[in-house]
Chain A
């Protein structure tokens, strides 16, 4: 089918988009590397942390990190290491950054996925229903709630939930991550719900706008006028509304990762976000660089996935191909 539409196949589409993603990530990695020089003062001193350095130690650090080389040379060496999986050593804990991340990435992923699932299961159906009954009491109530939710910061919501459900009514554990397995998931419920409130409000708004936009289209009136059942009309609308909802999926993902930082700090969870917050205050630059790059990669890959899904579900994009 795609071949008759001409100009591109899925394979070629993926290759070109992948190349664009790599270019974006390279550009970002350059900026990330430059972070080392963003902090005021001598990078060598910053790399040593708050210890009082002797001149010999400083010289050793300069040699170890090749700080006297030209900037570009340093960057090339650094990105080479990154590609090989060597992200340097944490200043604070003096552990390899990769193993530091490995310990925490699972928790963050669990938190993010849990929040994402809660969002999908709750916000999307609510958005569809609100659009279908635009102007009803249901629509106005949920829309109002979403306006409050979209602006409510997770750290404030988190603390309120923690106080109400953790301290006051003691329904959920207050801090910590439990003993692994199901218990860990149980400890993650409150953080995930906190995270899902902001994201869910956003997804609700996006879904409602998308479905409402489709409902106003002529093809819906035409379908009804020729006697399609309400169920068939609904399928028609949802299939069309899927496209803008998926397209904004990338945005939602970026939002999600920004949110995990605050939620992990609020609930004192040992994830990537909490590590980043701590590392920034400590000026643990290798860790900050690694986490920034990791987040950028995840978001870029999500955007790539969104592009591919859009390509497969929107025949117009398929026909336009790669421009």
Chain B
């Protein structure tokens, strides 16, 4: 057992940075606007630091693994946090108070997210999950004087606490059956003869799935998501939609592969049906939304459905579906952040977030309209953009796992999603604007939007590097599980 404390350096950096942000907020003479840039620098630095362990495969005790998988997510989370800090800069200065703490909490939540990906045993995973969740509860209700923000935050917290309880109960049942909380130990025990306790193990597994389902907002556990998305300050909505999904699936994927693969035949149909409802309901309900934040909330529920379908398609033999899930996750995060960055820029100008308020945006701010269209097309899975290739790969991986029907449902759901994305574009391009007055130019935000849009094209037109990284990360999760796959009957 190895207790190499240096493995956690990126997280020390983040923790230190969080303290720095709080202090800068209290005593600094820095303008609130620049705090966002300082926080983003910290998140980027942590992502860069994590690359030191590239190529290593090592563990901190039996609790946390530091390998390609962790690095993949450290970098992803670092980039998410940095983007969100930059999106926040203008918004937070204008609409929120207590700027230092805002960024401090945001940075801390990345630590929680990272440990969710790195955890090798259930209790550490649970603590990490709570660290992330609590940060998000606070952030969601950060607009203290705004009733909607309070409502959304409270709903999020109550349902989140409920789901944590379910997760814990499931964890307890699994412990009762397997007498361990380590993923590998669980897999070993589940692969052996369970006798009469198999039902109990399945119950525990279902409870864990339900708990995680709440966190990633899978239907039918999604009720909190639209309200929390709508109420939360815009950059926080962007953050929740990106990091809670990414971290949730980081944990989900690892848990399913390393701990529960022996029960694959039992949970695969369960997840497949969960995915079906999530894809269909998320995308169909999105059609009715009038508010862009709620629209993006339901669209991200739909995206969760695709990812869940990918989890259902995980196979004991190959890491194909796992790497496809990671690839699509990255593509989704980039596209979604780009969309939210555009929405935030527009909100900073006008304070409007209804879809019909976007009418004629193409005349008033052509760049924002174009960037928003590109990110929405990418979310819809249209070619030239990231979404096309990541969805293609993910759906093909699902089909490979003898789930052609599930892939068909996914393609259909994705077709439905095109409709409501087009409705946003209809407002921007086809409808006459209220006034022809040009909106201002927000150069720093434009810079971020431009970077994200370029990333959408880079992934869409040259996905090989990202796919390789996803493959490396995914296959390592499998190597951890491989020793036990041999044991399963």
A, B co-complexed: no
A residues contacting B by CB (< 8 A) are none
B residues contacting A by CB (< 8 A) are none
